[in-house]
Amino acid sequence: MASLGLFLATLLLGAGQAAAAEAAPGPVYVVPVKQTVQSGLASFLDRALTEAEDAKASLVVLDVDTPGGRLDTAEEIAVRIRNTKVPTVAFVSGKAASAGAYLSLNAGAIAMAPGTTIGAAMIVDQTGEAVDNPKLVGHWSSEMEAAAQLNGRNPDIAVAMVDPSRVVQMKELGRTKEKGQILSLSAEDALKVGYSDRMAKSVDEVIAWKELSDRTVVKLNPSFAERLSQWLTSPGWSTLLLIIGIAGIAIEMLVPGFGAAGILGLAAFGLYFFGQSVAGFAGMESMIIFGIGILFLILEMFIPSFGILGILGIIGVIYGISSAAYDTGHAARSLGLAALVALVITMGVVYIFRKRGIWNRFILREQLTTEQGFVPHASREDWVGREGAALSPLRPAGVADIGGERVDVVTSGEFIERGRTVRVIAVDGTRILVKEVASS
């Protein structure tokens, strides 16, 4: 009996320890989403969610305040949020516009601070103008609709945030979203129509709402490298880096001697690949192929290859830059634009410093002048009028003795016999023109 009691006590103790282990409190992670939605943000959020999963976090609070950004990046982030193993809450502390609204809808719950907004997800171009593409609008409307349905929210409201032609009656608010308008909801209106689950003034209130105030709070922020990467991978800056890189390398190759242009070009390419690498897009193979391409272009300047090295170099550079970016097609277009701008800059610099161009290495510019220290043949301009004797028949060229010096002479075409008296009538360099002197 004693043994049986001890056995049961051991089982109960083990069960209690297992239950305690299951109930072990995990930390709450607070992750800021306070920047434009682009590739750098995707990389940071992936790292943050992975860290939260590894720590077996109880909750991840996404602190949202963003004007939106790239739709393809938003879709990538949304998939990561939906598939995470940790419960998520989107806390709108500023505004959740466009892609920001989409990310918030993909979280497990939404809390909004007073005075904040969510919506206005119409597709616009880089100038802020609306994109009138039915196919693209239809796709984004479907994405917003599906995100709303994840947590039982009214999908028509989500579509009305994208499509200005959609008419939606919101009975809870006593008004209708008319055609031609883009829907954006305040925190109070969002709570009434079910697009927010809670009003909260701070992250702490959100954590208290989820009854996790006793948990450790871990606030994650982008590292310096990630912040730099977010800046470097933006479309405008990445294109500018490509322009500087191409122009710098080209100027250094065509107008050698600057040094600064080559260093600046290499630094620009280095920053481009650094940003793409930190964002998780550029692999080592992209940088190696790019480096080989640059090497081939340099060799093409000095090794005759009938253009083979040049073509291989261009292919290597294009592949290295394009494969290192998040969107290969966008990178290729940026590279084409950068190449055109860099060509104009390079042509201007080459024209200004044309006397220092590499082509001057193939042109002999040395002059054999007396100023340079070269002594030409003695001048015989003063020989005109001198007389001498033909030492050989002049037919019309031959040898004559002029003033006791044996020299090569030539006549105007006439024949002069050996021994005849001749007179110098013209001297042109080493060419001495003579004429027979008639005997008295």
Q: Is the dihedral of CA 182, 186, 191, 197 positive or negative?
A: positive
What tens digit of pLDDT does each residue of 136-170 get? 888 999 999 999 999 999 999 999 999 988 999 99
CA distances from 403 to 164, 406, 417, 428 (A): 108, 8, 19, 18
Class in CATH terms, 25-219: alpha beta
Confidence band of 14 (pLDDT split at 50, 70, 90): very low
Residue 265 sits at φ, ψ, to 5 deg, of -65, -45
Please report the pLDDT score of residue 370 as a whole number.
53
Distance of alpha carbon 296 from alpha carbon 281, whole angstroms: 25
Please provide the average confidence, as pLDDT, over all residues in the chain. 82
Residue range 265-279: average pLDDT?
80
Question: Going by C-beta distance under 8 Å and a sequence separation of 6 or more, which residues neighbour residue 39?
Answer: 70, 73, 233, 279, 281, 326
CB 125 within 8 A of CB 131: yes
Confidence band of 17 (pLDDT split at 50, 70, 90): very low
Residue range 116-143: average pLDDT?
84
Please report the pLDDT score of residue 18 as a whole number.
40
* Most confident listed range (182-196, 274-288, 355-369): 182-196
Please report the pLDDT score of residue 21 as a whole number.
36
Please report the pLDDT score of residue 101 as a whole number.
95
User: Model pTM?
Assistant: 0.60
Structural domain spans, the chain: 25-219, 224-354, 378-436
Residue 152 sits at φ, ψ, to 5 deg, of 70, 30
CB atoms within 10 A of CB 373: 7
* Most confident listed range (16-20, 37-41, 285-289): 285-289
Q: Which CATH superfamily is domain 378-436 in?
A: Nucleic acid-binding proteins (2.40.50.140)
Please report the pLDDT score of residue 214 as a whole number.
93
Please report the pLDDT score of residue 162 as a whole number.
92
Q: Is the dihedral of CA 133, 137, 138, 140 positive or negative?
A: positive
Query: How would DSSP label each residue in 236-294?
Result: HHHHHHHHHHHHHHHHHHHSTT--HHHHHHHHHHHHHHHHHHHTT---HHHHHHHHHHH
Please report the pLDDT score of residue 262 as a whole number.
77
What tens digit of pLDDT does each residue of 204-248 get? 999 999 999 999 999 988 777 767 777 777 777 888 888 888 888
